[in-house]
Structure 1
């Protein structure tokens, strides 16, 4: 079940029903499986409970390292980086997301690489680095197309590219 109703065209953040997210968080509060932990981190993040989200994200990365696959660790690291982004720690998020994207691409895990690039673009967008945002979104689009992503995923990425393009400073032409 997706709680995402769309994306804000100004800041590219997920639009969610806060009440639905709060109810879901309460439902899974005691679950300890890796998927439940990842979902709880995301729910805490979109609910604005960033200190709790970061603490749980750290726990989730540790659990993924101990009991999950390398793919699980990458997913958990990307999610932790998105919490860092929401907290305004853009440099830390950039470093983590770039490393995750590089590792996923190196392993041939296209969907995880696309996911990491998409979030790297969102982080750069938040930080006001619209060139990096655009480049990351374009890489995500390329990888998503290669992976045969659904039209909805491609549309979200195209909207993000457009948003980054609109915010880029005009290039001055010397003449």
Structure 2
């Protein structure tokens, strides 16, 4: 069951049940597998414990490089990029997320590429580059369709495209 209850309209960040996230974090805090490490990073991120999340994200990237696959490394790096974004380091996040998206597409890994493009778009959206955000979200939607994503994943991308278009129009003074 997903812990995501919705998305903030201003930042497109996940809205979660804080208590549920804390309980899950406590439940997996001693697990050392890469999937558990990545989940812990995400939980720390949505709980706004960004210093801890960044430290653990660095560890997850190292672990993925040592014992994981190239896909694992990309997933860990995308999550690392989202921590940079949440810390306000938009230029660093943009670079990391764009690199991950390009590498995943080059390997033909549509699901990971879609994940990276979606977060690249969120970073651009927060940085108020709504045109770039819209393009990244559109690419994510295309790749999600290609990967056979479920309707909820497609809906998330469509809503992000709509939000970026509305913000872009508002910023340029065009009524939609």
TM category, shorter: over 0.9
**Aligned counterparts, 1:26-175, within 5 A:** 26-168=26-168, 169-170=171-172
Runs (4+) of structure 1 exceeding 2 A deviation are: 169-172
Task: Give CA-to-partner distance per residue, 1:55-87, whole Å, 9 cap, x none.
Answer: 000000000000000000000000000000000
Q: For residues 8-39 of structure 1, what are the alpha-carbon distances to aligned partners after superposition, in whole Å with 9 as ceiling and x for unaligned? A: 22221111000000011011111100000000
Structure 2 unaligned runs (5+)?
A: none
- Alpha-carbon deviation of 1:171? 7.0
* Matched pairs, number: 172
Once residues 48 and 148 of structure 1 are traced to their aligned partners in structure 2, the CA distance between those partners, rounded to angstroms, is 32
CA offsets, 1:127-153, max 9 Å, x none?
A: 111010000000001111111111110
TM-score, normalised relative to structure 2? 0.95
Give the distance between the partners of 1:33 and 1:142, measured in 2 at CA: 31
SS of the aligned residue for 1:23 comes to helix
CA RMSD of aligned residues (A): 1.0
Alignment gaps of 5+ in structure 1? none
Q: TM-score if structure 1 supplies the norm length?
A: 0.96
Q: Greater shift after overlay, 10-19 or 111-120? A: 10-19
3-state DSSP class of the match of 2:43? helix
